[in-house]
C-alpha cells in the first residue's frame, strides 16, 4: 500500500463499517477498507475491519466518524 494512509477506525461489526464508509463517501474522502475477518470461520475468529484515509484527511474523517465510536 502507498505511504500516507492512516488507520482511523476499527470495528468488528460490518454494518458499522458500512456506515463509516458511507459517511466518508458522502464527504468525498477517499478510504481503504481492510477486512481482517477469517471468512471460513467468522464466528470463531471475528477479526477487525479497519478503515484508512490519506494523512491530510485524518482530522476531518475522525470528526465525521466520532458518533460511530464502538
pLDDT per residue as tens, the chain (70 positions): 568 999 999 998 889 999 999 999 999 999 999 988 666 655 666 689 999 999 999 999 999 999 886 5
Rounded to whole angstroms, the Cα distance separating 70 from 67 reads 9
pLDDT at 41: 59
pLDDT at 3: 86
**In which domain, by residue range, is 62 found?**
5-68
pLDDT at 48: 92
What's the chain's length in residues?
70
Closest to 35 (Cα-Cα) out of 13, 15, 19, 50: 50
pLDDT at 33: 95
In CATH, what number is assigned to the domain containing residue 41? 3.30.70.1530
Rounded to whole angstroms, the Cα distance separating 30 from 32 reads 7
User: How many domains does one find in the chain?
Assistant: 1
Amino acid at each position: 500500500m502507498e505511504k500516507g494512509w492512516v488507520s482511523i477506525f476499527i470495528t468488528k461489526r460490518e454494518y458499522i463499517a458500512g456506515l463509516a464508509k458511507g459517511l466518508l463517501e458522502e464527504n468525498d474522502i477517499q478510504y481503504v477498507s481492510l477486512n481482517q475477518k477469517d471468512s471460513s470461520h467468522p464466528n470463531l475468529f471475528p477479526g477487525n475491519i479497519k478503515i484508512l484515509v490519506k494523512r491530510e484527511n485524518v482530522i476531518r474523517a475522525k470528526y465525521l466518524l466520532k458518533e460511530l465510536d464502538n
